[in-house]
Amino acid sequence: MSSSKLISCNILLFSFHQFLLLIHTKPLVPALYVFGDSLFDSGNNNLLPTIAKANFPPYGQNFVQRFTGRFTNGRTLPDFIAEFVELPYPPPYLGVHESIPLTGLNYASSACGILPQTGTIFGKCLSLGEQIDLFKLTIESKLPTHFKSSEELSKHIADSIFILTIGSNDYIQNYLEPTVFSTSHDYDPQSFAQLLIDALSNHFQRLYKIGARKIIMHEIGPLGCIPHYTRKYELTGKCHEETNQIVSYFNHKLHELLQSLTSTLQGSVFVLARINSLSYDVINNPSKYGYSDGSNPCCTTWGNGSAACIPWLEACPNPNQHFFWDGYHNTETGNLVAASLCFNNAQFCTPFSIRDLIQN
């Protein structure tokens, strides 16, 4: 069977698997908590005064609930992780108005980042600090009534999986677009990376203090390879390597940070998801992964392929053959590949795969 047919079959199987979860199953972990930006947002920005939204077609054209606010054609990476651990998709926090689910929540907010100013040019979004504030509120005032004791609640949180992706917008808005902010004039690439890492370290320590113990953080992807940048520069290859080099300083420091936190915060495991090298390989060798196109967006976007999908315009007929959905985000198949690797492969999600975390 070809790689593309295998990916299509896997997507159908996982759709059936999610249906079975609705009938009866016992989850592998108590809950899945999601933090981040538009790569993980499942609808929080729908309820915020911002232009950074994806609650219209063709977004969600291959998702069972259609256009929910996910910035892709189907499921996000956390959606697949939820399926693997036999949990329902964590709903967007701002969309929950009744009883808080015990199986997890999604706090991710499109356009936002590690720094509080990131995303403000588009309106209101939830910075990582604000997302953690909302999680703290959840733990302190909304979940305790569901547990017999504080110890039982603490165990629930400690055994749950926390998954994050954040930082891309800090670079795109604050550093790589000097007409928006002056950050690139104030910091060299290494200093800016350290600024983000120091802030991220504080956020992680807050999560730990609240009770999180199993935390998976994704690298920033190869931004120099996304259509938003490949269509702005004359390239010698498929990517703008100067942009990739700037981002690499953050990813290198991130690896060191996660190792340091694991060794200093007792009982914690901080896992690095090596998404950068995987995405770079897919973009430069698409046929290896069953794609016919690793460079161009599937939907018709603003800015000649470099931005978000234009509402209601028909997308390409074969999104599974495209790695990119719009000028920034990948298709569902890319999310499936990365989620599968993180669940099973300790070389991709290191030092432990999610399967390892569950068994520990």
Q: What is the pLDDT of residues 231-266, one digit of tens each?
A: 999 898 999 999 999 999 999 999 999 999 999 999
Range 169-204 burial, b when 16+ CB lie within 10 A, else e:
bbbbbbbbeeeebebbeebebeebbebbbebbbebb
Amino acid (one-letter) located at 346 = A
HSE, side-chain direction, 13 A CA sphere, residue 288: 9
- The answer, yes or no, to whether residue 64 has pLDDT greater than 60, is yes
Among 41, 228, 329, 353, which one carries the catalytic annotation? 329
The pTM assigned to this predicted structure is 0.92
Quick one: pLDDT at residue 18? 47
What would the mean pLDDT of 343-350 be, rounded to a whole number? 96
Q: Residue 223: left (phi > 0), alpha (psi -120 to 50), or beta?
A: alpha
pLDDT of 303 > 60? The answer is yes
- With a CB cutoff of 8 Å and minimum separation 6, the contacts of 353 are 342, 343, 344, 345, 346
In the set 41, 79, 170, 326, the catalytic residue is 326
Q: Is the peptide bond before 58 cis (omega within 30 degrees of 0)?
A: yes
User: What is the number of residues in the chain?
Assistant: 360
Gap between the Cα atoms of 108 and 193, Å rounded? 21
Question: Active-site residue among 38, 42, 127, 279?
Answer: 38
Q: What is the pLDDT of residues 120-139, one digit of tens each?
A: 999 999 999 999 999 999 99
Give residue 338's identity as a one-letter amino acid code: A
CA torsion sign for 15, 19, 22, 23 is: negative
Q: What is the Cα–Cα distance from 206 to 101, expressed in whole angstroms?
A: 22
**Is residue 293 among the annotated active site residues?**
no
pLDDT digits (tens, 9 = 90+) for 181-238: 778 788 999 999 999 999 999 999 999 999 999 999 999 999 999 999 999 998 989 9
Catalytic annotation on 326?
yes
